[in-house]
């Protein structure tokens, strides 16, 4: 997994970068294809001059997976809040990707097995 981080008009401390890396690393734990060498996570952060202070930071997170590109965008007043919101938006997208490309939801095999045990009895 490769992570690219681009900033425009922002400067992060080393501590903030470690927090970002930890939060983005949680995305990789959802799906083994995210951990694949062919996958890429791109984080773009931009400070914009807006009338609303709560929209000052524009954060875009793009996850490139085999056969699919997942994307989330958020506007918040701090970069950490924007990243949290992007991750919240990406989690269901990754779940749908897993269902389509990996072989269904995690409990599907268990439910089928339980149903066959009940019907056999």
- SS3 sequence of 31-96: CCCCCCCCCEEEEEEEECCCCCHHHCEEEEEEEEECCEEEEEEEEECCHHHHHHHHHHHHHHHHHH
Over the stretch 44-87, which tens digit does the pLDDT of each residue have?
Answer: 999 888 777 778 889 999 998 888 899 999 999 888 999 999 99
Sign of CA dihedral 20, 75, 10, 38: positive
User: Which pLDDT band, with edges at 50, 70 and 90, does 14 fall under?
Assistant: confident
This prediction has a pTM of: 0.75
Token readout for 98 is: 């897993």
Going from N- to C-terminal start, the domains of the chain cover 2-120
Q: What fold characterizes domain 2-120?
A: Double Stranded RNA Binding Domain (3.30.160)
Render the burial of 90-99: b for 16+ CB within 10 Å, e for the rest: beebbeebbe
Mean pLDDT on 92-115: 67
pLDDT at 72: 95
């Amino acid at each position: 997994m490769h992570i690219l981080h681009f900033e425009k008009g922002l400067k992060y401390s080393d501590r903030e970068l470690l927090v970002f890396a930890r939060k983005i690393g949680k995305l990789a734990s959802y799906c083994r294809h995210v951990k694949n060498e062919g996958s890429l996570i791109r984080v773009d952060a931009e400070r914009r001059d807006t009338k609303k202070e709560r929209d000052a930071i524009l954060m875009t997170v793009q996850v490139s997976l085999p056969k699919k590109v997942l994307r989330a965008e958020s506007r918040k007043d701090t970069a950490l809040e924007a990243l949290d919101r992007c991750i919240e938006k990406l989690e269901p997208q990754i779940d749908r990707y897993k269902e389509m490309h990996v072989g269904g939801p995690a409990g599907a095999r268990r439910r089928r097995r339980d149903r066959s045990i009940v019907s056999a009895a």
